[in-house]
Amino acid sequence: MRHMGRPRSRRKDLPTGLYFHAKLGYYYRESSGGRARIWFHTQDREQAIGLYVKARHKPAPAVDGTVAELVDRYIRDELPRRIRLGKLKQITADEYARQAPLLKEVFGDKQYALTPAESGRHDVLRRADVVTHLRQFEGLRGAVSANRLVALLSVVFENAASIGICTYNPCIGAERNQERARKKVLTEAVRGDILGNAHPALRLIGQMGELTAMRKTDIRNLMLTQISDGVIHVEQSKTGARQDFEITPAVQAVLSEAAKLPGRKISMFVFPTRKGTPYTESGTQSAWRRAKKKAGMDGVDAVFRDLRTTELNEVKRAGGDATATAGHADQRTTARHYLTVPTRVKPRR
């Protein structure tokens, strides 16, 4: 059951779930799960309420000639094809499928231009519309998510062009928001408090992340068949890199405790739910948020990925090979996205 938030102290004239951003001057609502803001491009209260009421209803099937049609076509036809041919990683496909409803909410009602010559029409999605969406988040939280959404939109239009539907892609030339690599290192106290207040499965998933710097997806989907001869065999879901993690006493302690999880009696997954299935991405995110709240750290900037960053920096600090631990082919990738510890130089004499 979803709990209601605190009664609003401002703008009590708005229906529950509709908000006004005073700094930007626009109205917005939150997507399902509260993971993103859906903006209404109007400063008129009555119009915003009308758009909000319309958006709350179950979405109708995509109308022919709209961006929503192109999104549905890509998710329904092209996504399975690309997975089958090995042209797209499952983790990327899952993220595209997750983003698709949000993409339709933001741009779906717009018509698409068949050719660049038609892009001047007011009722089609134009580059200016895409730029407007991106700039709403410029320098703010959500800038990276806006970039990712536009990236998927561009993929959708590329697919439409490849099958002869249209030749105009409104994302081309739309400057993306500047992104800064997140290199957040968590203190031992913060890690301990959050994981100490997590449910057993998440705590063990987190501890495995602390010890190995594995990605969350690879830990969630870890199977018993990947463990043999004192080693955990992993093929990274994101890069395809193969790694063998030695089972140290600390890792063994986590594996031994995981064997006692309720779902293990009916599952081949190392960290299963009670039903024996692997935890989903949204499930682990929700569990992480609950653990933070229970630990009194609602306002602390800490995400699961920070466990990987923290361990890779510890490996480097100890003189180890952080790039090999991360499973990267190029040490510049590790440095750019994770490392904050400076390279230690020993003078020749």
Q: What is the pLDDT of residues 216-274, one digit of tens each?
A: 999 999 999 999 999 999 999 888 899 999 999 999 999 999 999 999 999 999 999 99
- Share above pLDDT 90 across residues of the chain, in percent, rounded to a whole number: 66
How many residues does this entry show for the chain? Answer: 349
pTM of the model: 0.68
Biggest alpha carbon–alpha carbon distance for the chain: 75
Mean pLDDT of 12-19: 78
pLDDT score, position 240: 86
- Which residue in 212, 226, 220 sits closest to 307, CA to CA? 212
Q: In which element (H, E) is residue 81 found?
A: helix 79-84
Assign residue 164 a region: left if phi > 0, alpha if psi is -120 to 50, beta otherwise? left
pLDDT single digits (tens) 40-90? 766 677 777 777 776 665 556 788 899 999 999 999 999 999 999 989 888
d(Cα 297, Cα 293) in Å, to the nearest integer?
6
Q: Say which DSSP state 223 is in.
A: B
d(Cα 133, Cα 330) in Å, to the nearest integer?
34
C-beta neighbour count of 101 within 10 angstroms: 16
| Tokens encoding 231 | 């080693």
DSSP string, 176-187: PPP-----PPPP
DSSP string, 120-155: GSTTB--HHHHHHHHHTTTTSTTHHHHHHHHHHHHH
| Tokens encoding 43 | 């400063």
In terms of C-beta distances under 8 Å and separation of at least 24 residues, what long-range contacts does 94-98 make, across chains too?
94/281, 95/148, 96/152, 96/155, 98/281, 98/282
pLDDT score, position 3: 41
d(Cα 70, Cα 173) in Å, to the nearest integer?
20
pLDDT single digits (tens) 163-206? 999 999 999 999 999 988 889 999 999 999 999 999 999 999 99
Three-state SS at 12: coil
Whether pLDDT at 4 is above 50: no
DSSP string, 267-320: -SBSSB-TTSPBPPHHHHHHHHHHHHHHTT-TTS---THHHHHHHHHHHHHTT-
pLDDT single digits (tens) 283-315? 898 899 999 999 999 889 999 999 999 999 999
- What domains are there in the chain, each with its CATH number? 18-56 (no CATH), 67-162 (no CATH), 188-337 (1.10.443.10)
Which of 107-116, 139-148, 196-205 bottoms out in mean pLDDT, i.e. has the lowest? Answer: 139-148
C-beta neighbour count of 66 within 10 angstroms: 19
Which of 5-19, 149-163, 168-182, 264-278 bottoms out in mean pLDDT, i.e. has the lowest? Answer: 5-19
